[in-house]
Chains A and B, each alone.
Chain A
Amino acid sequence: MSEAGAADARKAIVAGHGAFAEGALSAVAQITGLQERFIAFSNAGLGPGEIETRLREVLATTGATIIFTDLPAGSCTIAARRIAKERPDLVVVTGVALPTLLSFACGSDVAAAVEQGRKSMHVLEVPRGT
């Protein structure tokens, strides 16, 4: 939950390479059924200017105020940061993973969802000799 105790209900774009966003959101749907607040966006086949233009269009038509991107160095991140330069209300989160999206879908605020994603990364090693 957000710090104020109310669920974060803002809409968010999930933007990335190939079918990353579509796939991630299909997983969110399967696990939580709470995918309505998300919009999938792919940079496939798009130049940098077109990515920015289309992201602006999606933001305008959906009212989303958060963009989750897959790679910090990715073209979606570059475009999102260009837009955020003019829009202080826009939050850009890079390197998003499924646990972050699930946490956000369930009402966590962005910071808490990001922390959930960080905490979900583990190296699971089987001790030798077992």
Chain B
Amino acid sequence: MALDLVRIDDRLIHGQVVVGWGQPCEIGFLVLVDDAVAESEWEQELYRMGVPPEMDVFFDSVESAARRIGAYREDRRVGMLLTGDIETMERLIKAAPSIRAVTVGGIHHKPGRVARLRYVFLTPAEEAKLRGLMAAGVVVTAQDVPASAPLSLEDLLAGDGTG
């Protein structure tokens, strides 16, 4: 049951995660995987501030997340693991190949990125990384909030930014 939700979201912990997913899915803990945040108490306090007290937040580097993922899976509560970009998730999955499904929850516009969904913009290199994950057997979907239907990677990459 635990750690059912593995999400790529450049906003990391924010409203959609804490409220949009947190309340209906009764999320009990979040795992934020980011090497820089894992080394900064100030960044950790920043992300922890808005999270309700009944929801635990754990901060990990890619290395420590891979080491602890077994313990997170054994946690009986519902958990969500977050990375802020595809590259970090790719590194994590290489280190923790037991992760078999990933949701793209939000990657916003930057120069070089093309709109695929309202909430997903990707560079060609990022698209290639997602295809690489799928080729390695990881199920990649896109879904911003629980109320919207998950989209396959094929549908995501065929999008024109309006979906």
For A49, the chain B residues whose CB sits under 8 A away are: 110
Q: Does chain A have a CB within 8 A of B66?
A: no
Give the contact-size bracket for chain A: 10 to 19
How many inter-chain residue pairs (CB < 8 Å) link A and B?
56
**Contact (Cβ within 8 A) A48 B15:** no
Taking A47-B10, A48-B10, A94-B50 as contacts, is the C-beta distance between A74 and B108 under 8 angstroms? no
Can you name the residue of chain B whose Cβ is closest to the Cβ of A69?
Answer: B50
Give the contact-size bracket for chain B: 20 to 34
Q: Which of B35-57 contact A (CB under 8 A)?
A: 42, 46-47, 49-51
**Contact (Cβ within 8 A) B15 A78:** no
Q: Does chain B have a CB within 8 A of A103?
A: no
Taking A73-B50, A73-B51, A94-B50 as contacts, is the C-beta distance between A47 and B108 under 8 angstroms? yes
Q: Which of A27-67 contact B (CB under 8 A)?
A: 45-50
Q: How far is the CA of A48 from the CA of B46 in the complex (A)?
A: 13
Q: Does chain B have a CB within 8 A of A75?
A: yes
**Contact (Cβ within 8 A) A45 B50:** no
Taking A46-B108, A81-B46 as contacts, is the C-beta distance between A71 and B15 under 8 angstroms? yes
For A73, the chain B residues whose CB sits under 8 A away are: 13-15, 17-19, 49-51
Least Cβ–Cβ distance between B38 and chain A, in angstroms:
17
Q: Does chain A have a CB within 8 A of B116?
A: no
Q: How far is the CA of A53 from the CA of B13 in the complex (A)?
A: 19
Q: How far is the CA of A17 from the CA of B118 in the complex (A)?
A: 14
